[in-house]
Amino acid sequence: DCRQYTNRSCEECLKNVTCLWCASSGRCMDYPVRRVLPPADLCELRSARWGVCWVNFEALIIAMSVVGGTFLIMLGVCCCCCCCKKKSKKQALLSVRPDKDDERAAREREKRRVRQEER
């Protein structure tokens, strides 16, 4: 039971991974597993500690948001770069390779030239 560590130290409380330490009240309590974050009436996010004593939930949420946002921005930039690269390669291939209409016109010109020479 986590309540036995109340009014002791954060380190003692968090040795048990199912416990949550509230720094403002000095209470050790069972982590509310049905919720992702502890409710405010149980303990404020800036006072709640879980896993390690030096990180509170508020800082953890901010840090994870920054890391997640940075990752999403990097992913978007990579996708844009890949799309632009494919587009430029496709345009380069189209400009180098003659069009089918151009090939057909060149063949017809060649046929006409051959016919004129035969005459």
Per-residue pLDDT reduced to its tens digit, 19-75: 999 999 999 999 888 888 888 888 898 999 988 899 888 888 899 999 999 999 999
d(CA 12, CA 36): 23
61-99: burial string, b at 16+ Cβ within 10 Å, e else: eeeeeeeeeeeeeeeeeeeeeeeeeeeeeeeeeeeeeee
Q: What is the mean pLDDT of residues 94-104?
A: 67
pLDDT at 96 over 60: no
Give the rounded percent of residues in the chain with a pLDDT score beyond 90. 35
Predicted local distance difference test score (pLDDT) of residue 78? 92
Predicted local distance difference test score (pLDDT) of residue 85? 78
